[in-house]
Amino acid sequence: MTTLDQRQQLIECATSQIAHHGYFQTTVSDIIEAAEVTEETFYAFFETKEDVVMSILSKGEEALLDVVKLGYRKNNDNVSGMVDSSIALFTNYFSFAKENRDLMMLMIRIRNGGDSAVAAFANRVNEDIEHAFFHNIQRAKDLGMLVDKRSTAVQAALLTSLVNGMMQRWLFANDPIDSISMLSPEDMAREIVQFEFFGFIGWHDEYRQCHENSKGRIE
């Protein structure tokens, strides 16, 4: 196993151990045993457990933000195009979450119960994702796709809370036959976007036509 392979093995095993057992319940010895490396190898790459977790969160933050940034609005569009763009963004987001289930669980566990420095970093990752949503919403307003009547900060916070809550339910439902947990990433994306734009009313053509003005904006 190469040096890079050993480091990656430690990161993957630390992610899995903390995701399944919790931050405080996982020790450096647990990570070393799971990775099947020596203590010397661990400390060649990381000084502490906190150090390896910071590395995990940093890489996770970068990957998540890359997914969100793929959906940044660049061109003016009508409501239908904006909805399709958002569905593509959230399909990528939920697909990433499904492929990186342990990372998502680790982030949830640490936000709710890591030491102060690690929890603060995990919360910053969440804030950065919220900021990315803020950018996307504001960009839609700048392009004239949304009417700028409501607080973008509040909208971004609501969207982030909605996505986080649904993500947790979707990935980690206790009931294996929970109807939400059985949805595909695209199904989840469509449900999120429907609620994002149209709330409980839904996005029937009649409703969309009533709320889309002549410039193709949502009032």
Please indicate whether residue 115 or residue 16 has the higher confidence score (pLDDT). Answer: 16
Site of tokens 């469509």: 190
Q: Mean pLDDT, the chain, as a whole number?
A: 81
Q: What is the CATH number of domain 1-46?
A: 1.10.10.60
What is the 8-class DSSP label of residue 200? Answer: G
What is the 8-class DSSP label of residue 147? Answer: -
Taking phi first (over 0 means left), then psi (-120 to 50 degrees means alpha), and beta for anything else, what does residue 147 get? Answer: beta
At 138 the three-state DSSP class reads helix
Read off the pLDDT band of 203 (50, 70, 90).
very low
Closest C-alpha to 129, from 70, 86, 65, 172: 65
Q: What are the domain boundaries of the chain?
A: 1-46, 53-211
Please indicate whether residue 173 or residue 35 has the higher confidence score (pLDDT). Answer: 35
| pLDDT reported for residue 176 | 61
User: If you average pLDDT over residues 102-123, what whole number do you get?
Assistant: 81
Q: What is the CATH number of domain 53-211?
A: 1.10.357.10
pLDDT higher than 70, residue 55: yes
Closest C-alpha to 156, from 127, 182, 189, 180: 127
CB atoms within 10 A of CB 170: 21
What is the 8-class DSSP label of residue 76? Answer: -
Site of tokens 């569009």: 77
Q: Report CA 162 to chain centroid distance, whole Å.
A: 11
At 181 the three-state DSSP class reads coil
Give the tokens for residue 163: 């996505």
pLDDT higher than 50, residue 207: no
Contact 105, 20 (CB under 8 A): yes
Taking phi first (over 0 means left), then psi (-120 to 50 degrees means alpha), and beta for anything else, what does residue 199 get? Answer: left
Range with the poorest average pLDDT among 66-70, 73-77, 89-93, 96-100:
73-77
146, β-bridge pairs? 218
